[in-house]
Structure 1
Amino acid sequence: MATSYFPKILCFIVFFFFNIAAEKFTSIQCESPVTGIHDQRTVLSSPYTVPQITEKDQGGEKVLVCAALGYPLAHLRWQNENGTDLTANSTITHTEDNLYNITGYIPVVGEWCSVKYNCSVCIEITCKYARLSCSKNSEIYQQPKQRITAVVRVILPLGFIVLLALLALLYWKSRIPQAYVRARYKSTTTLIVGDPE
């Protein structure tokens, strides 16, 4: 009797473990074919991270750095706001996971935010872009000549108007006592001359 239940129990155990094992498998949709060797590690094509742009000051020389991580080897390029390609120095390193860490450097002439720079990382026709973003505070800081010009345009006329007002006030202040003294002197002489006694 016990032997009649054995196949049913065995089927239940096998079915239970297959369901658990099936949940542990991962299914991946690949855009391009990938070839691997059985029982060896295979690196799959992965999308690159969005490039990160940072500012560096290396001994007085301003440099913008663009970095991205991914696989397979991609092409990194810099462009200015007009879409012109810029010459960049690049370094490529491998991580422990066999991903490529691509870094591109370009020198900056003038202020950080005087030109809008773009960095892109492309694999064939697929690209990811980053743009140098400047905060409002850094834009104000980066344009001191324009700030000085604006301040001078406002302060000079205002200062001139205030100076004229002060001079007019001083003039009238000095004239008022003289007029008062004259009026008083005139009224006292009239009283003295006009007194019959």
Structure 2
Amino acid sequence: MIFTSYEQAQDAARILCTSGPIGELGAGPPLGCFAPLRLALGAIRQESLATEAILHMPDGPDDPFMETGKREVAEITSAIGSLLNWADIQLCRVEVCECRADRLLRRLLEESMVPSQTGFSRTLGRNNCLIAGRFDARSAERSAYVLIEHRNQIEHAVRGHRGWRARGVTGGVSTTVYESPAYPHTPVSVYREDTLACVGAVAGALRSA
């Protein structure tokens, strides 16, 4: 099933659940942020898949009631999956968005065929950057990669985003590849355009490294 409108998704949500983020989708005005909905759908999908697996375990002669249960659970799992696929591509209002800002960054890098990994700072004690390109800690001096940072904290919500800073590192020498306008006070309203520009600059820098 593919939802082509918000109303179709709301109808499906009403059938699935009346409480929590799924219930809010079904009952309320358009959502500003889809992160809680995605998490809720992901959780009940796991439960539904687990139930399906249990129902399909061989445990004796065929039971018509069991077969009916299998079909019903399969339909529920399919509906949840369809709603999750729909929620996954919805755009939040950036000023209230609780989604991780690096979610879009990673997706755009993947679409640009740029490998990436999270960088952990022992000094800061947290994930402080995204490392774009092929980085090997054992031979860092021979690597060419780009560090994409956000005020020393990569795992932040979109609503708190204030721009990216990308620094290319080749042979141990660091140069600025991209810096958002007015960083670190870039308006969150330009988050999507800014992230797209950052990825374009990073991909270009890695190609020419």
Does the pair score TM above 0.5?
no
TM (norm. structure 1) is: 0.23
Provide TM-score, normalisation by structure 2.
0.22
